[in-house]
Structures are given as structure tokens and as C-alpha cells.
Amino acid sequence: MAALLEACGLEKTFRTGVVERPVLRGLSLEVEQGEWVAAMGPSGCGKSTMLYLLGGLDLPDAGSIRLGDDELTDFSAPERARLRRRRVGFVFQQYNLIPHLDVAGNVELPQRLAGVSRHDARAKSVELLEALGLAGRERNLPGTLSGGEQQRVAIARAMANQPDLLLADEPTGALDSASSALVLDVLRAQHDRGQTIVMVTHDVDVAAVSDRIVHIRDGQIVNSESSGTVGST
């Protein structure tokens, strides 16, 4: 299959005053259309930074990122924002829900920004929220939900526009085992329909549902394996 995402030689250093902290050191990753890749590694190895760069939320200091025919490093910040709106869905560790919008409003917002009608956005939101076990919570504000429920709203929002690429940073990190299983079932169903997913996780059992696992150490991918061989390294 053709590659949907190609990242080559990514370098990123964060600077605080005169202190420099290299995070990515020449990281390269290729993801095929319809593939589900899980990224694992110790805290601070660059996993989340990699996701932010792959989705165009930040730019690398060096290297290239190509999503289909689009070279993200050539785009301005507004151009990257428009590309994300059309082609990328994010699931953040911190949820990043809008506190004054209810659950349905949070899921509808990216659809409305993409030009979807109010009626169709509402119908898609109801469908996703029901699949994620959140039927009846549509009018709740995020602050009234548990952490696990907020994470599931964030996942519904990320999938609302049926993005080419879904980027998920610890999507089950705040969930109990039952909610984790529900979220993975939904992600698996989306993957079965052809959704391309890049997911960061610390959980070996969660990583095992992916097609491929890449291991990151010190800002580089040091190993890539089929999920069927997880634990062999």
C-alpha cells in the first residue's frame, strides 16, 4: 500500500534561556494508508513531540513531513491549521475540551468549522457519542464528566470529520479497563473501515491491537515490529 505519512530526519530541540534540550534526533517514520501504528518508549523520549510535529501543530528544526501530497514544513501556520481541519484528528492527553460548550457542542465544533451543516453535525455527534457509551450526556458540560468520559468525548471529536490521519496521545490513559476496552473497540472499528492511526501509549496491551509497534529511545526510532511479536525485544 502507498504511504500516507512520511517523516524523515526530524529534529527538535526545546530551549529555555541558554539551556537546550534535544528531544528528536533524526527520527524517521513511514505510515501506510490504513495502517495502525503504536509508538512506545519511556517518558521524555519524544513520543508526544513526534505526534505534534506529524499533525502540524509545531514545526521541526530540521527534516520533512509529508501527508499525502502535502509537505507540512512548507506550510504557514494558517495553512497547517486548514490542513488539520480537513485531514487530521487529534486525541490529546489533556482532552482540550472547550469548557463552556456541552458535550455535543464539542463534537460538533470541528464539523461546523469544516462546513458541515448543523443537522448533519448533530447526527454524526449522536452516532459517535452513542458508540462510545456516552448516550444521554450530550447536554453535559465537560466539567461535570469524569476523566474517562472527557477522554471519550475527545475521541469522538477527533473522529467527527473522518480524518485521513488520527493521532492519539495515550487515548486510554485516563480510562478504567471497561472504558479502555470500549475505546479500543471503537478505534478498531474505525481502523477496519480504513482509518490510519498513529497512537502513543505506555500500555503493552493497548499497543498490541495495532498493526505495528515502533519503539522510541532518545528521540529516535530504534525498533519496529509487528504487534504480533510485541514483547520479543
CATH code assigned to 34-51+78-229: 3.40.50.300
Q: Say if CB 31 and CB 5 are below 8 A apart.
A: yes
Share of the chain above pLDDT 70, in %: 97
Torsional class of 218: left (φ above 0), alpha (ψ -120 to 50), beta (otherwise): left
Nearest to 166 by CA among 92, 224, 217, 66: 92
Q: Name the pTM for this structure.
A: 0.90
pLDDT-based confidence at residue 233 (cuts at 50, 70, 90): very low
Q: Render pLDDT for 68-91 as a digit per residue (tens, 0 to 9).
A: 999 999 999 999 999 998 899 999
Identify residue 191 by its one-letter amino acid code: H
Query: Concatenated DSSP letters for 119-131?
Result: HHHHHHHHHHHHH
Q: Supply the pLDDT for residue 40.
A: 96
Q: Render pLDDT for 170-205 as a digit per residue (tens, 0 to 9).
A: 988 878 888 888 888 888 988 998 999 999 999 999
Check residue 227 and report its DSSP letter. G
Cell numbers representing residue 8 in the block:
524523515
Torsion angle of the four alpha carbons 73, 74, 76, 82, in this order, in degrees rounded to the nearest 10: -80
Q: Supply the pLDDT for residue 21.
A: 93
Q: Supply the pLDDT for residue 220.
A: 94
- The residue assigned the cell 502535502 is 70
Domain ranges for the chain: 34-51+78-229
DSSP H or E stretch at residue 38: strand 36-40
